[in-house]
Structure 1
């Protein structure tokens, strides 16, 4: 079975779905790999790195024509779908709940589509979970970006000229990205606080050295491993509990995303206007509308001396590591779906059932 690795075309995207190391492993179990010219160049993987492990380098049109499985990271776009043939199998992030038109377009081509962002949050799927692997890097990069944008340093520093107090960092959302952000900020010497609607994350945050700001959630727990959308009552109580820390913070990182829905607003413009002059907000949910009311995707907005940076989850900027982790997720996922390079189509199995969005032109999940 031939697997085609396509070059990402989304603006700013630097990752690749399969790295040479993982291509070699797939070839070893019987797959044939075709990679588009320059597919890995933005992640520091040369075409020769692929050919060295017996990957065939081809033009984009040839990949679409010959491959039975087509791999990407970002959703297939309109131009991609013009080249998709009936019966081909597409694997990428599809965000099917928030983009039903894309799913209809895939179905119209008579194709089959699996969505990597629909991997269920269960223990046996952890090694396939691209959201976790990529968000881990995002949490790290958010702190590094914040450190660059701040006009202060993170650690306590005692000098002959006097003592520099440590910076204060506040993190909204103690998922994978939030936990990595806590760990990174603590390693750099900051005083770190964190909050999350899920009370079960308190112990995790505190184990990494953060002070957890607990808000009685009145049963508003997680749903499928993700935080549920908060009620208006909870949002107000969280705002009141967190305000003191927010107004003292030098750096704020927001990570709250709910798959298939607009990101919840956690910081209003009114709150931004009460923050310290020179404070920085890194909003990792900007692509889904933003956790900060004033954030805009890929823009820096300044309000009353507060710098609000709206960014998508930021693994693109560490594309070599991000590609390697995504490729390992893909390898484990394909091995799970297949036996001796043939698809098992076990629709009673949870991972397959949850991620198979379109089957031979028929939409299974909305």
Structure 2
């Protein structure tokens, strides 16, 4: 069985889907592995590293994709790349299936088994495959460093003969995986940190990291069985905006991490809240690429407002630490392949009695088979 790893082509992407250590494990399990030349260079892995691990190096991308039994990658394929894939092959990547109906249905029509890394179920057994969490963890770290670099002052309190410098005030909105890592990183840098989340259940986690939890009475809120925050009503959204406005105005840094799975993220920081911040303050919008949490943010850019506030929306955060991000994503991919690897036959065999498969397999044997995605498509007919 041939497993191939193409080079990522998204502009600015530095991560590699598989690192040499994972290649070695797949080869040891009986797979043939072939990578596109230069696939790991931006992450710090040379072609010779992969050759030593047992992979072959291929310079012909089209031939590589066309020969694959399994394709492992970070980003979704293009429509043209789907045409190259073998019927009966398996494609594993982030796929954005809620918003990529044409792509998903083309993969079904080509009889490609498409596995979406976003859809790995959030259960204990699959934590080692949870790429959303592994990459969000690094994103939380990177966003704090971006903020520290853009801010016009230091994070930590400093006592000097010339006087005492007060610690920077950092306000983090959303205490999921990325938010909690952002809290921990900002605290390590010496900042005074406050955080808010619509789920009161995470207050203890926030406080255990040394941050203050901002309490805003929004009425009844909660989370899904997967641990995602439930969407707020328009009235609750307004209560949140008003309740956090004073904290935003007093903060040197605001980091937003609010995302709704499969849907456009909510705008939780309005322009008037940004306008009330001090000149030189920084806002980092984790969701800028998908629509934004902050009014005035722009995907892939840093915007400077009229009052001198920097709104950072550069996105693709984990790619800024590509070696570690690649190692973590590679481990997620290997653990997923290993879950369904038949050691005797040396093949990848999906088992739909396994709830991991029912959660993350989107297309199989010529059809869209994921119930969540099928229901979503039925509710939103194509125009």
**Aligned residue for 1:130?**
131
Q: Which runs of 5+ in 1 are unaligned?
A: none
Deviation at 1:182, TM superposition (A): 0.4
**Aligned residue for 2:331?**
328
DSSP-derived class of the 2:276 partner: coil
**Aligned residue for 1:77?**
78
Please list the CA deviations of residues 195-221 of structure 1 after superposition, one character each: whole Å capped at 9, or x if unmatched.
011111100010001100122343321
DSSP-derived class of the 2:242 partner: helix
**Aligned residue for 2:378?**
none
**Aligned residue for 1:228?**
230
Q: What is the rounded CA distance, in whole Å, between the counterparts of 1:175 and 1:67 in structure 2?
A: 36
For residues 243-322 of structure 1, what are the structure 2 equivalents within 5 Å? 243-303=245-305, 304-322=307-325
Q: Which runs of 5+ in 2 are unaligned?
A: 374-383
Please list the CA deviations of residues 265-316 of structure 1 after superposition, one character each: whole Å capped at 9, or x if unmatched.
1101121111111110011111110000110101111222111111324000
Q: What is the rounded CA distance, in whole Å, between the counterparts of 1:240 and 1:269 in structure 2?
A: 12
Deviation at 1:152, TM superposition (A): 0.4
Work out whether residues 7 and 16 of structure 2, in 8 Å CA contact, stay in contact via their aligned partners in 1. yes
For residues 99-178 of structure 1, what are the structure 2 equivalents within 5 Å? 99-178=100-179
Please list the CA deviations of residues 50-103 of structure 1 after superposition, one character each: whole Å capped at 9, or x if unmatched.
001111111212321322001110111123223112111100010101211110
Work out whether residues 285 and 311 of structure 1, in 8 Å CA contact, stay in contact via their aligned partners in 2. no
**Aligned residue for 2:14?**
14
Work out whether residues 40 and 47 of structure 1, in 8 Å CA contact, stay in contact via their aligned partners in 2. yes
Please list the CA deviations of residues 303-361 of structure 1 after superposition, one character each: whole Å capped at 9, or x if unmatched.
22111111324000111110000000011111112221333432132110011100022
For residues 180-195 of structure 1, what are the structure 2 equivalents within 5 Å? 180-195=181-196
Please list the CA deviations of residues 7-50 of structure 1 after superposition, one character each: whole Å capped at 9, or x if unmatched.
10111111111100111011111111111111111111100000
**Aligned residue for 1:67?**
68
Q: What is the rounded CA distance, in whole Å, between the counterparts of 2:310 and 2:149 in structure 1?
A: 12
Q: How many residues align?
A: 366
Q: What is the rounded CA distance, in whole Å, between the counterparts of 1:161 and 1:312 in structure 2?
A: 38
Work out whether residues 89 and 112 of structure 2, in 8 Å CA contact, stay in contact via their aligned partners in 1. yes
DSSP-derived class of the 1:222 partner: coil
**Aligned residue for 1:98?**
99
Q: What is the rounded CA distance, in whole Å, between the counterparts of 1:65 and 1:134 in structure 2?
A: 29
Deviation at 1:243, TM superposition (A): 1.3
Work out whether residues 257 and 263 of structure 1, in 8 Å CA contact, stay in contact via their aligned partners in 2. yes
Moved more, 294-303 or 189-198: 294-303
Work out whether residues 218 and 240 of structure 2, in 8 Å CA contact, stay in contact via their aligned partners in 1. no
* TM-score for the superposition, normalised by structure 1: 0.97
Q: What is the rounded CA distance, in whole Å, between the counterparts of 1:109 and 1:346 in structure 2?
A: 20
**Aligned residue for 1:56?**
56
**Aligned residue for 2:30?**
30
